[in-house]
Amino acid sequence: MNLQSKLAILADAAKYDASCASSGAAPRDSVGGRGMGSTEGMGICHSYAPDGRCISLLKILLTNFCQYDCLYCVNRVSSNVQRARFTVQEVVQLTLDFYRRNCIEGLFLSSGIIQSPDYTMEQVVEVARVLREEHDFRGYIHLKTIPDASPELMERAGRHADRLSINVELPTPEGLTALAPQKDGAAIARSMARMAVHIEDARQARKEQQAAAQVVSMPATRRTLTRRAAAPHFAPGGQSTQMIVGADATDDRTILATSAGLYGVHRLRRVYYSAFSPIPDAARALPLVAPPTVREHRLYQADWLMRFYGFAHGEIVPAGQGGMLALDMDPKLAWAIAHRERFPVNLNTAPRELLLRVPGFGVLTVDRLLAARRVRRLRHADLARLHVPLQKVLPFVEAADYRPGRALDATDLAARMAPPPAQRKLFD
Amino acid sequence: MDRHTITLAHATDWPGFRRAARALVQAGVPPQEVQWFTAQGAAQDLFASPAPPGSSVDPLPSPAGGAAPRVPEDFLRLCERLVLHRNPVRFALMYRLLWRLVRERGLRHDPLDADRLQAHHMVRAVARDMHKMHAFVRFRPVTDTEGHTVQVAWFEPDHFITEANAGFFVRRFTQMRWAILTPDASVRWDGTALHTGPGGQRSDAPPPDAGEALWLTYYRHIFNPARLKTDMMRKEMPQRYWHNLPEASLITELARGAHERSARMVQAEATTPRKAIAPLIPSHAHASR
């Protein structure tokens, strides 16, 4: 099979993984090296597919042969899809070629399980090792790790990769047992915990190293030293995971509780939600309907509320909706409408945490308001100048020259806030 | 009214602006009495008095003993980006902000001031353009007269960012020979030094090469037809970039085929498994809504 055909099969096989982030790596470049590549902290999306998803990394499977039979997965052993396998050299050459053309930030490599978890993991790690050591590649590498692989292999993966991930796949252990019989939820949790410890240890060690370096730094000679492609890091971009949404009956409240646990216990950098989408050659047990992308979007919004807006996972999903987020309005607006007694919030006196709860305000907006009110009284016109969605914000705030009046009490507030049905694009 | 006309050497002449602005502030010249031009701009403006060749500033008032203006460090950083914006009002805005920063104590702490907000929006546009250039430059290999492989790209930025952005590509592709051509300017890296030159034309850059086919294959297959969302794609990858992105030629075809492909997947009967599997069909797995 030629490279074109393999690439077609193994990109097809990888596209159900939502993550494509290339952020969070330690800054480095190719000055003074043999190879190419740089990361400057911020991720770069080099292209967008017509599904609206960012293409930042070459996201492929090393092989889509797999011994497991996870029902939601296009690569499960019982699927009739065409199979292929890359050699280590082929993945290395593709990565370097796309990188040289400036099409990607690096590689996101995953694999079906062949022979044994250790054998598979070893092949995946070998790709990263060849890129780093033989080609001095300094771009981004994200490796999907296999939970049952040996700790020693995980250690090697972490040395070469900027980010590691293990997919929890389904939000509950029961779901995992039902749909992914060979996967072991406990083993996944153990691996995540082990990675979290490695990441934290390396971060601490590096902090101490930097503190020591400040005492004896010699900036003039630093640049001339050849820096190793692999920094003395362990996955400095942290670890992430993915949950499939809509393949089983788990509600949003449970999903968010699982995420909160992952952020809290294993200090994950990101949890990705992937609306289960129909796959070619699907199993009989799964709902073959259009993917619930609006629900996925609401879960991402709720996830942001937990990470950046001070919301606890338990308060985001309103009572009386069967544990589900509203589809017709964003979760922050839904929360505000359900908690009108907390509003209006006074722009000139409210603390940061209350301002963050105002629908339509982002973190940046809140920080600007806080800075500005030290030198002036905030007025209605100031909001207009900030380009915030006024219709959404105004019922919930008061300013020096503005009060919402009875708008907050109006019974049709929710109806006025939710976009008219004609504008809803559920299926675009 | 005593009007001053300042003609800067080129579109992004930040040092020239700094020199002139410092002198003007020290001489107490208010913003409404200064007109700013760049050398190219002035040449096209029939009503502007011709700038004497070689002189960047005309006429520069002599400082009336005023102290050198002191401004916050972030203001300088802001101006270094603002000067790259294509809008001709940028110099007047920068000078007005400088003038006001020196006189109005509260201004540096007020992020909602109209001038500051305008500057901020313009800088955001420049930063976004620089980011999109990092993302959307596409190199194609050519062989130069000495037999070296040089990676060459054609790019059309919104603002005057090409030279300011070259450092990113130098750091990323230090060991490579490359050139980026744009309508306003070109930059070339020979492996050791950066050379800047005049703008070029799209036809100066190489056509698609055979190796690009792999990238197109990847783009075609990483797309999930069940999730067509072209609005989102257009928002992040505006159409004006498409004619320089090789993969964009596939978009129309992929989007058109998507509905049909995903409908086929939804309607298809589940297939007979290649291998027998245990019947594990928990009833709750069906209901997702």
Q: How far apart are CA A69 and CA A67, in angstroms?
A: 7
Identify the segments of chain A with pLDDT beneath 70.
213-232, 418-428
Q: Which residues pair with B189 in a beta bridge?
A: B178, B194
Residue A2 CA neighbour count, 13 Å, CB half:
4
Which residues on B lie below 8 Å from A103 (Cβ)? Answer: 138, 215
From chain B residues 15-74, the ones with a CB under 8 A of any chain A CB are: none
Question: Could you say which DSSP state residue A239 is in?
Answer: E
Q: How far apart are CA A139 and CA A57, in angstroms?
A: 10
pTM to 2 decimal places: 0.88
In angstroms, the separation between the Cα of residue B140 and the nearest Cα of chain A is 6
- Over residues A55-73, the pLDDT tens digits come to 999 999 999 999 999 888 8
Q: Which residue out of A47, A64, A367, A424 would a mutagenesis test of the B interface target, given it has the greatest number of B Cβ atoms within 10 Å? A: A47
Which residues on A lie below 8 Å from B219 (Cβ)? Answer: 47, 49, 55
pLDDT at B54 over 90: no
In angstroms, the separation between the Cα of residue A202 and the nearest Cα of chain B is 25
Question: Could you say which DSSP state residue A420 is in?
Answer: P
Out of A15, A30, A71, closest to residue B222 by CB: A15
In angstroms, the separation between the Cα of residue A98 and the nearest Cα of chain B is 7
Residue-level pLDDT at A320: 81
Mode of pairing for the β-strands spanning B140-143 and B34-38: unpaired
First-to-final CA distance of chain A? 36
* Whether B217 and A7 lie within 8 Å, measured CB to CB: yes
* Whether A7 and B215 lie within 8 Å, measured CB to CB: no
Mode of pairing for the β-strands spanning B149-154 and B140-143: antiparallel
- Over residues A158-201, the pLDDT tens digits come to 999 999 999 998 999 899 999 998 888 888 988 899 899 989 88
- Provide the percentage of residues in chain B whose pLDDT is more than 70: 82
Which residues on B lie below 8 Å from A365 (Cβ)? Answer: none
Q: Which residues pair with A275 in a beta bridge?
A: A245
* Whether B111 and A179 lie within 8 Å, measured CB to CB: no
In whole angstroms, how far apart are CA A358 and each of A40, A191, A400?
Answer: 33, 39, 17
User: What is the DSSP track for B92-107?
Assistant: HHHHHHHHHHHH-GGG
From chain A residues 256-285, the ones with a CB under 8 A of any chain B CB are: 275-285
Q: Quick check: B182 and B162 in contact, CB under 8 A?
A: yes
pLDDT at B86 over 60: yes
Which residues on B lie below 8 Å from A326 (Cβ)? Answer: none
Structure tokens at B80: 């270094």
* Alpha-helix runs per DSSP H in A53-184: 88-100, 117-129, 151-160, 173-179
pLDDT at B270 over 60: yes
Any A CB within 8 A of B241 CB = no
pLDDT band at B273 (very low <50, low <70, confident <90, very high): low
Which residues on A lie below 8 Å from B168 (Cβ)? Answer: 38, 40
Q: How far apart are CA A99 and CA A78, in angstroms?
A: 35
pLDDT band at B212 (very low <50, low <70, confident <90, very high): very high
Q: How far apart are CA B67 and CA A79, in angstroms?
A: 78
Which residues on B lie below 8 Å from A290 (Cβ)? Answer: 226, 262, 266
Residue of A nearest to B252 (CA): A50
Residue-level pLDDT at B279: 37
Length of chain B: 289
In 3D space, the residue among A13, A286, A278, A292 whose CA is nearest the CA of residue A144 turns out to be A13
pLDDT at B47 over 70: no
First-to-final CA distance of chain B? 73
- The amino acid at A412: D
Q: How far apart are CA A354 and CA A371, in angstroms?
A: 15
Number of helices and strands (H, E) in chain B? Answer: 9, 7
3 state SS of B77: helix
pLDDT band at B254 (very low <50, low <70, confident <90, very high): very high
Residue-level pLDDT at B41: 59
Which residues on B lie below 8 Å from A58 (Cβ)? Answer: 218
- Cα A298-B233-A327 angle, rounded to 5 deg: 20
Contacts of B231 (CB under 8 A, 6+ apart): A52, A425, A428
Question: How many CB contacts within 8 angstroms connect chain A with chain B?
Answer: 237
CB count in 10 Å sphere of residue B15 = 11
Which residues on B lie below 8 Å from A283 (Cβ)? Answer: 270, 273
Q: Output B228 or A24, whichever has higher pLDDT.
A: B228
The whole-angstrom distance between residue B128's C-alpha and the CA centroid of its chain comes to: 6
In whole angstroms, how far apart are CA A189 and each of A110, A184, A241, B81, B181?
Answer: 19, 9, 11, 46, 50
Any B CB within 8 A of A223 CB = no
Any A CB within 8 A of B249 CB = no
Residue-level pLDDT at B178: 98
User: What is the DSSP track for A73-92?
Assistant: -TTSTT------B--HHHHH
Q: How far apart are CA A139 and CA B172, in angstroms?
A: 8
pLDDT at B288 over 50: no
pLDDT band at B282 (very low <50, low <70, confident <90, very high): very low
Contacts of A229 (CB under 8 A, 6+ apart): A33, A35, A37, A132, A133, A136, A137, A138
Out of A33, A46, A102, closest to residue B175 by CB: A33
* Whether A14 and B222 lie within 8 Å, measured CB to CB: yes
